[in-house]
């Protein structure tokens, strides 16, 4: 009897305890949990740009949500357009972003917010509204009221390493056009373009070596997609071209380095212009120099100038009083290039230049050049030499690195690194001239005339 009574009391107590726990759980679940404040966005109006893509542009903040159980609260943000936040499917297509546990704010950089806006259908360069709400989850999930932010997204420009500038100066062929390189700012390109023919000052911008993606101009400094109107500069010269595909703006500023000093043709009174080798991205001068000093400066002014500290290291420094000393008069090639990693420093070379003839028609045959002499008055190289039947070619500095050959005996035109040669049919004394334009090295002119 005692056992029976004990069992009845035990099960009664257990039933009472279970009933009490069930009631407590029910009461806990029924306890109301809400966001007590509306979230805030700072700022509420955003005009996004690719240049600021990695910078924080907006912060969403909210008040803590109190749950009846002490445990970490997980927060998420939901983004959607207003039209998709009503009806049975409300917020079903929202973009959800994890915020973290027990955090009360979340910041977004321009790139991430731009992707959210574009994914939700907002148009580039057009202000649109996004609704944002906060989701809090612990033993259940609750949502805040939604707030609205105004966002103007941008079209992401895939960063090219360079863009091309086909134009009248080179026959409007993107495959052979000069190019300018990307800068530290994505979508912005800058470089040098030489337009030396007054009748060929127009060009366009192509993203590849073809016409599939190109920009023209509206004549007001704006780039226009696939426009029939080209970009143009006011006069012949060398320019620093800046192309900004983020803002669709462009500019051209006169930009030309020259040499100056007692060793140069202009002395200290005026620069002797260098030409820009776009292939090597280097400024060059090829011509006569006298014994004396040589420095480098931009746009015929001392605002930007470079001077070396000695003749040996091949470096020049911004606004340095030093100069390179030319010891012997002669014909030289001078090169100059600003250090792209440190614009207060530049690299330069000054090397003697000579031209000669070579071939089995010459006394040196194919082994030794017959040197030519530079005629300063007529601005060509010349030599009078005994020739025999055979071939004649031209090369620089006793090397095949730079050489010219003709394709026939009639037109007097030489081609860089061409296998052709001028044929000498009759032995005799010949006067030979060579005219080379260093700025246009693909071709040169020559004459070979037999003395009577």
Show pLDDT as tens, one digit a residue, over the chain (452 residues): 444 444 443 444 443 444 444 444 444 556 889 999 999 999 999 999 988 888 999 999 999 999 988 899 999 999 999 999 998 899 999 999 999 999 999 999 999 999 999 999 999 999 999 999 999 999 899 999 999 999 999 987 666 789 999 999 999 999 999 999 998 888 899 999 999 999 999 999 999 999 999 999 998 889 999 999 999 999 999 999 999 998 999 999 999 999 999 999 999 999 999 999 988 999 999 999 999 999 999 999 999 999 999 999 999 999 999 999 999 999 999 999 999 889 999 999 999 999 999 999 999 999 999 999 999 999 999 999 999 999 999 999 999 999 999 999 999 999 999 999 999 999 999 999 999 999 889 999 999 999 98
Are 135 and 76 in contact by the 8 Å Cβ rule? The answer is yes
Taking alpha carbons only, the member of 230, 170, 228 closest to residue 205 is 230
pTM value is 0.64
Q: Is the dihedral of CA 397, 400, 406, 409 positive or negative?
A: positive
d(CA 428, CA 365): 15
d(CA 346, CA 324): 13
Radius of gyration of the chain (CA): 38
């Amino acid at each position: 009897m005692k056992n029976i009574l004990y069992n009845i009391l035990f099960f009664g107590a257990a039933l009472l305890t279970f009933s009490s726990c069930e009631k407590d759980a029910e009461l806990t679940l029924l306890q109301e949990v809400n966001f007590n404040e509306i979230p805030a966005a700072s700022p509420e109006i955003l005009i996004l740009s690719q240049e600021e893509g990695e910078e924080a542009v907006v912060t969403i903040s909210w008040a803590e949500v109190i749950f009846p159980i002490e445990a970490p609260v997980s927060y998420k943000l939901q983004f959607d357009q207003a039209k998709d936040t009503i009806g049975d499917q409300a917020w079903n297509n929202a973009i959800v972003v994890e915020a973290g546990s027990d955090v009360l704010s979340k910041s977004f950089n321009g790139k991430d917010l731009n992707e959210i806006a574009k994914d939700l259908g907002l148009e580039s360069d057009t202000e649109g509204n996004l609704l944002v709400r906060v989701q809090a989850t612990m033993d259940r999930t609750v949502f805040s009221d939604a707030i609205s932010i105004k966002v103007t997204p941008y079209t992401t420009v895939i960063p090219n390493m360079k863009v091309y500038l086909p134009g009248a100066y080179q026959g409007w062929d993107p495959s052979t056009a000069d190019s300018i390189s990307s800068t530290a700012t994505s979508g912005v390109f800058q470089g040098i373009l030489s337009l030396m023919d007054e009748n060929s000052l127009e060009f366009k911008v192509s993203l590849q070596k073809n016409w599939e993606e190109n920009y023209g101009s509206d004549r007001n400094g704006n780039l226009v997609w696939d426009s029939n109107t080209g970009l143009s500069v006011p006069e012949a010269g060398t320019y620093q071209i800046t192309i900004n595909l983020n803002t669709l703006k462009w500019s051209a500023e006169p930009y030309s380095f020259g040499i100056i000093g007692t060793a140069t043709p202009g002395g200290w009174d005026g620069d002797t212009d260098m030409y820009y080798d776009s292939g090597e991205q280097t400024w060059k001068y090829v011509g006569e120099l006298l014994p004396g000093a040589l420095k480098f400066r931009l746009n015929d002014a001392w605002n930007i100038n470079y001077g070396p500290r000695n003749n040996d290291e091949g470096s020049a420094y911004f606004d340095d009083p030093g100069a390179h000393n030319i010891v012997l008069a002669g014909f030289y090639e001078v090169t100059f290039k600003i250090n792209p990693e440190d614009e207060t420093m530049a690299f330069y070379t000054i090397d003697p230049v000579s031209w000669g003839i070579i071939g089995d028609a010459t006394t040196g045959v194919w082994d030794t050049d017959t040197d030519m002499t530079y005629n300063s008055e007529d601005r060509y190289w010349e030599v009078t030499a005994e020739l025999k039947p055979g071939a004649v070619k031209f090369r620089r500095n006793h090397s095949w690195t730079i050489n010219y050959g003709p394709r026939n005996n009639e037109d007097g035109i030489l081609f860089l690194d061409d296998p052709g040669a001028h044929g000498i049919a009759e032995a005799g004394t010949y006067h030979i001239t060579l005219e080379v334009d260093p700025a246009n090295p693909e071709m040169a002119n020559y004459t070979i005339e037999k003395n009577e």
